[in-house]
Amino acid sequence: MSKKTTRRNFIGQSAALTAGVGFWSGTSLISHGQDSALQGLSAACIGVGGKGGSDTSHIGEQGVNIVGLCDVDGGTLTKKGREFKDAEQFTDFREMLDKLGDKIDIVTVSTPDHTHAAAAVRAMQMGKHVYCQKPLTWSISEARLMRETAAEMGVVTQMGNQGTSADGMREAVEVIRSGVIGDVTEIHIWSNRPVWPQGKGRPAGEDPIPEDLNWDAWIGPAPMRPFKKGEYHSFNWRGWVDFGTGALGDMACHTTNLSVMALNLWDPVAVTAVKNPGIFEGETFPASSALMFEFPERDGLAACKFHWYDGGELPSDDIISQLPESFQKKIANQRSGGGKTSGAVLIGTKGVLFSPDDYGAQYILLPRGEFVDFKPPAQTLPRIPYKGGGDERQKWEFVQTVKGDYEPGTMANFDYAGRLTETILVGNLALRAGEGKRIEWDAKTMRSTNVPEVNQFVQREYRKGWEIPKIAATANR
């Protein structure tokens, strides 16, 4: 009986034959560009401007042949096409995946939040490995679907919270898990976001759609609305509930990553919007908010409350007073009208871990006097053996895992990232419930048991033509 050779089989066989193709040069492990021809890895990239521009370039730098570029903005597409001259260009990811499906192994998704799942699930159902920007999805149910689809299809996945690739972040996880600061029962994380408009209603009227903008494809699964210059495309979409996930969705996949990974902060049992001006006219997230998540005892870890602050909101003085004096001065400057800060404080029964870094890559143990002789615990998490920026290191981890040359695999895979995103997005349900209203949450069923009116926002009804298709497993699987 003959065995059909599929693209995936060929790549796996090539990976096995060429293990160790990277080599050390000084302190950097280099991936040859010619790996692409040998390994046969090709990619199609969805969203190639802004963050998507660097995502596309960094995948290409890892020796992957970029054969497809997709962006709703013709100007952006043309600009990126100068870098990848042989890549075919599209303004609709559905058309690109249909046409290039048998020619690609990897799909990157770097679009606004509301189109992540529609693009990424379609790609995974076609047997493609997927790198998707954070937050993984627009809705809770999509995060669950992404996680389940990745597991079903057996594809390599990675979410773009590049802080996961930092040695310092992984060490901080080890420190917390080792029990150095004791049982963590309280977490406070604040963000300098939003840096886009929130707390406003939909603008009246409409503007002519630019000739080089595929507005239908930009709207994608969301309800159609008129184009208004500068309101949604290309940056301010994050504050609009139809397209983005607000400050919480934008930054919490970075800033909570350390705490979630170290403490298994999955499946909150309740979330309360402590300060909540509410969703403005059903259109945008509030300009500022404060949330409290409640987590029960889990896997032998103490019950924990996680407090989130955005839009200039800050923890109370009793928390701030425990921070280094230099950072307290930054807080004082913020309170007097200066620039906003970001930070994470994990309070344990034996000490405090403070990270002033959005990605958790730096940490300080407090009070300093009690940790002068501190030495990091034994390493339990792998370190990425590629020297470069966080984005590049994460792309190396992803591509080498696809090739079969990196056994630890991707750390921000969709099993982890899906749970992280699911957990975070429950907070946005609280913003819809009203200030001070405690939402009791059943993570298994993805439903609030006491505030049923928020359950309609766990998922969305997709606009016709943009539904996630049910594609049978193919020979690429």
Query: Could you read off the pLDDT of 121-176 as tens digits, one per residue?
Result: 999 999 999 999 999 999 999 999 999 999 999 999 999 999 999 999 999 999 99
Give the neighbor-by-neighbor strand order of the sheet with 129-132. 88-90, 65-70, 42-46, 106-109, 129-132, 157-159
- Distance CA(134)–CA(158), nearest Å, equals 10
Residue 16 sits in the same domain as residue 59: yes
CATH number of the domain that 54 lies in?
Answer: 3.40.50.720
pLDDT in tens, 66-111: 999 999 999 999 999 999 999 999 999 999 999 999 999 999 999 9
Residue 173 sits in the same domain as residue 141: no
Tell me what pLDDT residue 8 has.
47
Residue 159 sits in the same domain as residue 62: yes
> Residue for token digits 């870094």?
357
pLDDT in tens, 303-338: 999 999 999 999 999 999 999 999 999 999 999 999
Residue 321 sits in the same domain as residue 393: no
Cβ-based neighbour number of residue 262 at 10 Å: 22
Q: 152 phi and psi, to 5 degrees?
A: -65, -40
> What's the gap between Cα 436 and its chain centre?
28
Q: What confidence category does residue 26 fall into, taking pLDDT thresholds of 50, 70 and 90?
A: very low
Q: What confidence category does residue 20 fall into, taking pLDDT thresholds of 50, 70 and 90?
A: very low
Residue 429 CB partners (closer than 8 Å, separation 6+): 140, 271, 439, 441, 448, 454, 457, 458
Residue 126 sits in the same domain as residue 238: no
pLDDT in tens, 447-468: 999 999 999 999 999 999 999 8
Tell me what pLDDT residue 469 has.
78
Residue 399: pLDDT over 80: yes
- Distance CA(384)–CA(47), nearest Å, equals 26
- Distance CA(20)–CA(29), nearest Å, equals 10
Q: What confidence category does residue 189 fall into, taking pLDDT thresholds of 50, 70 and 90?
A: very high
Residue 252's domain comprises 166-201+233-381+418-452
Closest CA to 231 of 219, 240, 222: 240
Q: What confidence category does residue 266 fall into, taking pLDDT thresholds of 50, 70 and 90?
A: very high
Give how many domains the chain has, as a whole number. Answer: 2
